[in-house]
């Protein structure tokens, strides 16, 4: 049994060609030279079996390229990677037999039923007609699609289509499932349906590597998160561990009147672990605290005694958005193009190859 479901060490990948017409590697094999884009620059990753591991980063960070290399859809220019204990470069066929892949958009045929979609995928995976039919029924039940099984997939909601897409990626019960931004474009209900499906997969023993720009998605699903930026892993920890890097609990007070901000700041300064910060535009004052309950109680009592009117008062924990801003210097979705020159992964493309 392998220790890590996914293990990546020093992975490098670039796109583009140098002046000679050949892929350029630059000095020292860094993979960068004129006319090239370095997508992975010594990327490291370790994913424990039976978990959801979030892979986060701004557009252009290298997330999609990493998934494509791990799914054997791209060859790396350096470093090494193992999936389910199998070397990606040495035995890509063996890797493909152990993985599933679902891209950003559901790759289902909307002109046929959900059941027919799954049976076709089963036949593509060489299950045979009878076994494909049985497997389709099992997956329809697992993803709560049995009642809609014989309806055209074009009548499905966004969440149902994504669940059908996930079901198709599970035809061979993969050890590792790569989900590349699986809830892009879904409404809150659809996202919740996909989250429930992912939790069910992990409960059944599948390891999930999830790339997403929805930070609340990673917070809810992932037991561990790796933050990428410019082709490297810049942080790896639990969601709470990442949040603790940017500070602990904070008290926030929104004053009813801007004129009261100095008074609110003085109140918070009595209990704060550091100098309170004042946001005049939002009439907000916030400060880190150590004893959260005692500090909140003291602030509420003092504000009342001094008759300072407030619109909001509460304890706040740092969010993954705060982590992103602290670690990368920009929000999770900043408009930077996703790895230039990198084609998007096709759903189920790796396993069917």
Rg (CA), the chain: 24
The CATH number of the structural domain formed by 6-243+330-352 is: 3.40.50.300
CATH 3.30.70.100 in the chain: give the residue spans.
249-316
Residue 339, pLDDT > 60, answer no
pLDDT at 48: 96
Where is pLDDT greater, at 189 or 141?
141
Q: Which pLDDT score is estimated for 253?
A: 95
- Predicted pLDDT at 59: 82
Q: What is the pTM of this model?
A: 0.74
In the chain, list all ranges with CATH 3.40.50.300: 6-243+330-352
Residue 176 structure tokens: 């590792």
Average pLDDT over residues 194-199: 86
pLDDT at 340 over 60: no
* pLDDT value of position 17: 66
Instruction: Indicate if the pLDDT at residue 318 is higher than 60.
Output: yes
Model confidence over 273-286: pLDDT tens digits?
888 889 999 999 98
The pLDDT tens digits for 289-300 are 888 889 999 999
Q: Are 134 and 81 in contact (CB under 8 A)?
A: no
CA dist 337 and 315 (Å) reads 36
What pLDDT shows up at residue 323?
Answer: 80
Buried b (16+ CB within 10 A) or exposed e, 281-303: eebbbbbbbeebeebbebbbebb
- End-to-end, the C-alpha distance of the chain in Å comes to 25
316: β partners: 250
Per-residue pLDDT, 290: 84
| pLDDT tens-digit map of 221-246 | 999 999 999 999 999 999 988 887 77
pLDDT of residue 326: 77
- 13-33 mean pLDDT: 55
For residue 345, pLDDT beyond 80: no
Confidence of residue 330 (pLDDT cuts 50, 70, 90): low
Structure tokens at 35: 């006319």
Q: What is the pLDDT of residue 261?
A: 95
Mean pLDDT of 190-202: 85
| Non-local CB neighbours of 105 within 8 Å, separated by 6+ positions | 184, 185, 347
Please tell me the predicted confidence (pLDDT) of residue 24: 47
Q: 249-316: which CATH topology?
A: Alpha-Beta Plaits (3.30.70)
pLDDT at 151 over 90: yes
The predicted structure's pLDDT at residue 2: 84
The token duo for 36 is 């090239």
The pLDDT value given to residue 208: 95
Q: Sort strands 277-279 and 284-288 into parallel, antiparallel or unpaired.
A: antiparallel
| Residue-level pLDDT at 28 | 44
Instruction: Give the DSSP H or E segment for 196.
Output: helix 188-203
């Amino acid at each position: 049994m392998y220790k890590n479901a996914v293990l990546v060490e020093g992975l490098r990948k670039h796109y583009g060609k140098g002046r000679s017409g050949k892929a350029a590697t630059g000095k020292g094999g860094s993979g960068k030279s004129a006319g090239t884009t370095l997508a992975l620059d010594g990327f490291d990753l370790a994913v424990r079996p039976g978990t959801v591991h979030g892979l986060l980063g701004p557009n252009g960070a290298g997330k999609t390229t990493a998934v494509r290399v791990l799914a054997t859809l791209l060859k790396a220019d350096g470093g090494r990677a193992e999936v389910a204990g199998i070397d990606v470069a040495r035995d890509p066929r063996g890797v493909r037999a152990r993985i599933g892949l679902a891209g950003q958009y559901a790759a289902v045929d909307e002109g046929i039923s959900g059941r027919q979609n799954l049976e076709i995928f089963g036949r593509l995976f060489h299950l045979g007609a009878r076994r494909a039919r049985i497997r389709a029924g099992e997956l329809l039940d697992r993803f709560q699609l049995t009642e809609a099984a014989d309806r055209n997939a074009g009548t499905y909601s966004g969440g149902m289509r994504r669940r059908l897409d996930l079901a198709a990626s599970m035809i061979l019960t993969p050890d590792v499932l790569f989900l590349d931004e699986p809830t892009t474009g879904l409404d809150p209900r659809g996202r919740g349906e996909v989250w429930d499906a992912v939790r069910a997969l992990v409960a059944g023993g599948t390891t999930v590597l999830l790339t997403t720009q929805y930070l609340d998605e990673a917070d809810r699903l992932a037991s561990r998160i790796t933050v990428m930026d410019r082709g490297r892993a810049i942080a790896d920890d639990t969601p709470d561990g990442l949040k603790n890097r940017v500070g602990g609990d904070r008290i926030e007070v929104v004053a009813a009147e801007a004129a009261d901000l100095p008074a609110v700041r003085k109140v918070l300064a009595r209990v704060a672990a550091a100098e309170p910060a004042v946001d005049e535009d939002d009439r907000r004052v916030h400060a880190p605290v150590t004893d959260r309950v005692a500090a909140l109680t003291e602030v509420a009592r003092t504000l009342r005694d001094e008759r300072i009117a407030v619109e909001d008062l509460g304890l706040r924990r740092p969010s993954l958005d705060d982590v992103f801003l602290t670690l990368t210097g920009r929000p999770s979705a900043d408009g930077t193009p996703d790895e230039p020159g990198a084609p998007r992964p096709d759903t189920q493309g790796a396993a069917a190859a």
